[in-house]
């Protein structure tokens, strides 16, 4: 990549778009898998990149400082300092989140010599989830959200797919969308395999897929297969280096870093709640009637206690 090409990467949004383009093989620069993953993590943590030293960032990512320098020069920057300036410029334009990020960094740097109390441990997890929520809010794009809500509201069919821990997330999204419209279900229903369920979808249908690192191979393969057949793919994942992002028409990136024993799901759940509300607003009266009809059956079958 020539030094002149850096003019095309003039802000954080340009860098984020570049990560997606590299993953899809559509960029004029190529990166190895490890370097691509590092770049994706950097653009998803703009506050940390802006205020940290190169040594601090390298240590937090488990790489050598020279790796970050080589990455910056590979992208056409004169060095890491010029690369970091993109993030610092973004920080000055993003004042409302500065103190939240700094508080997060303070918490990260606090050394606790004694075991946390039960309440403190839960509080720590909650604070980490708050930082993850702030992380995805910083990356939201109005147009992407609007287009996704319209797709989920009006597509002939919506199918949702995720496995292992993410199954709980996709089940929640499936339940919420089913409150508002018909023809929404998990991709692989009872008695059907994934291939059979995918074969029932056609051009114009929507498939929502979700996976966080370490990614489930089958979810990525299903996403790519669906995209090749003309199905609109919406991905809920963690970074732009995710194999789901390359297949997605719309992708949303939710941080999950925390001290939880597995991937933290708090921020993902909040994002899905927001997505369901956007679909409800898009459907308007039609969505309200769907809710009323469901309530009628709930009352008729005496499902809920007084």
Is the domain of 17 the same as that of 163?
Answer: no
Q: What is the pLDDT of residue 168?
A: 95
State the average pLDDT for the chain.
Answer: 85
Q: State how far the Cα of 306 lies from the Cα of 296, in Å rounded to an integer.
A: 15
pLDDT confidence of 92, banded at 50, 70, 90? Answer: low
Is the domain of 81 the same as that of 202?
Answer: no
Full domain range(s) for residue 272: 142-299
- Please check whether residue 215 lies inside any domain of the structure: yes
Q: Which of 91-95, 113-117, 174-178 has the lowest mean pLDDT?
A: 91-95
How many residues are listed for the chain in this entry?
A: 306
Q: What is the pLDDT of residue 57?
A: 87
Q: State how far the Cα of 128 lies from the Cα of 266, in Å rounded to an integer.
A: 9
Is the domain of 155 the same as that of 65?
Answer: no
* CATH number, domain containing residue 54: 1.10.10.10
Q: What is the pLDDT of residue 231?
A: 96
- Please check whether residue 133 lies inside any domain of the structure: no
- Mean pLDDT computed over 78-91: 83
Q: Please, what sign has the CA dihedral across residues 226, 230, 231, 232? A: positive
114 pLDDT more than 70: no
- Please check whether residue 124 lies inside any domain of the structure: no
Task: State pLDDT tens for residues 213-229.
Answer: 888 999 999 999 999 99
Is the domain of 291 the same as that of 189?
Answer: yes
107 pLDDT more than 60: no
**Closest CA relative to residue 96, chosen from 128, 136, 134:** 134
Q: What is the pLDDT of residue 20?
A: 87
pLDDT confidence of 102, banded at 50, 70, 90? Answer: very low
pLDDT confidence of 271, banded at 50, 70, 90? Answer: very high
Output 263 or 201, whichever has higher pLDDT. 201
* CATH number, domain containing residue 203: 3.40.50.10490
Is the domain of 146 the same as that of 289?
Answer: yes
- Mean pLDDT computed over 33-39: 89
138 pLDDT more than 90: no
- Please check whether residue 169 lies inside any domain of the structure: yes
Please list the alpha-helical segments (H only) found in 138-245.
142-154, 166-178, 194-199, 217-228
Is the domain of 291 the same as that of 148?
Answer: yes
Q: How far is CA 202 from CA 185, 199, 229, in A?
A: 15, 8, 8
pLDDT confidence of 111, banded at 50, 70, 90? Answer: very low
- Please check whether residue 106 lies inside any domain of the structure: no
Task: State pLDDT tens for residues 275-294.
Answer: 999 999 999 999 999 989 98
- Please check whether residue 126 lies inside any domain of the structure: no
Output 305 or 83, whichever has higher pLDDT. 83
**74, 92, 110 — which closes off a domain?**
92
- Mean pLDDT computed over 109-128: 76
Is the domain of 151 the same as that of 294?
Answer: yes
Classify residue 30 by burial, with Cβ atoms within 10 Å: 0-12, 13-18, 19+. Answer: exposed
**Closest CA relative to residue 254, chosen from 100, 152, 135:** 135
100 pLDDT more than 90: no
CB 170 within 8 A of CB 186: yes
CB 240 within 8 A of CB 43: yes
Is the domain of 282 the same as that of 182?
Answer: yes
Q: State how far the Cα of 194 lies from the Cα of 208, in Å rounded to an integer.
A: 14
Is the domain of 78 the same as that of 146?
Answer: no
109 pLDDT more than 80: no
Q: Which helix (H) or strand (E) holds 234?
A: strand 232-237
- Please check whether residue 108 lies inside any domain of the structure: no
- Please check whether residue 178 lies inside any domain of the structure: yes
**24, 59, 92 — which closes off a domain?**
92
46 pLDDT more than 70: yes
Q: State how far the Cα of 183 lies from the Cα of 152, in Å rounded to an integer.
A: 10
End-to-end alpha carbon distance in the chain: 67
Q: What is the pLDDT of residue 53?
A: 85
Per the structure, how many domains does the chain have?
A: 2
Return the number of other C-beta atoms located less than 10 Å from residue 63's C-beta. 17
Is the pTM above the cut of 0.85?
Answer: no
Output 170 or 192, whichever has higher pLDDT. 170
Is the domain of 20 the same as that of 151?
Answer: no
**70, 92, 114 — which closes off a domain?**
92
Is the domain of 26 the same as that of 148?
Answer: no
Is the domain of 276 the same as that of 197?
Answer: yes
């Amino acid at each position: 990549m020539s030094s002149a090409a850096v003019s095309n990467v003039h802000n954080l949004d340009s860098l984020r778009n570049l990560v997606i383009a590299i993953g899809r093989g559509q960029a004029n620069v190529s990166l190895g898998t490890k370097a691509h993953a590092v770049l994706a993590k950097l653009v998803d943590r703009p506050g940390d990149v802006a205020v940290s030293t190169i040594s601090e960032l390298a240590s937090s990512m488990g790489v050598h400082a020279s790796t970050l320098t080589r990455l910056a020069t590979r992208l056409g920057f004169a060095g890491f300092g010029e690369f970091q300036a993109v993030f610092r410029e973004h920080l000055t334009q993003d004042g409302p989140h500065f103190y939240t990020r700094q508080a997060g960094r303070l918490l990260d740097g606090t050394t606790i010599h004694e075991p946390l109390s039960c309440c403190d441990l839960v509080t720590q997890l909650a604070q980490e989830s708050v930082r993850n929520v702030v992380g995805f809010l910083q990356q939201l794009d109005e147009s992407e959200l609007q287009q996704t809500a319209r797709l989920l509201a009006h597509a002939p069919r919506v199918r949702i797919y995720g496995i292992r821990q993410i199954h709980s997330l996709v089940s929640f999204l499936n339940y919420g969308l089913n409150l508002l419209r018909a023809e929404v279900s998990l991709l692989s229903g009872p008695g059907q395999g994934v291939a059979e369920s995918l074969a029932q979808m056609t051009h114009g249908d929507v498939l929502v897929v979700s996976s966080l690192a370490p990614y489930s191979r089958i979810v990525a393969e299903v996403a790519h297969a669906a995209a090749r057949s003309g199905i609109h793919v919406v991905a809920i994942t963690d970074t732009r280096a995710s194999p789901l992002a390359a297949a997605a028409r719309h992708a949303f990136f939710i941080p999950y870093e925390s001290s939880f024993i597995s991937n933290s799901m708090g921020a993902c759940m909040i994002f899905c709640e927001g997505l369901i509300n956007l679909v409800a607003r898009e459907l308007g009266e039609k969505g309200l009637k769907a809710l009323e009809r469901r309530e009628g059956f709930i009352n008729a079958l005496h499902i809920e206690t007084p």
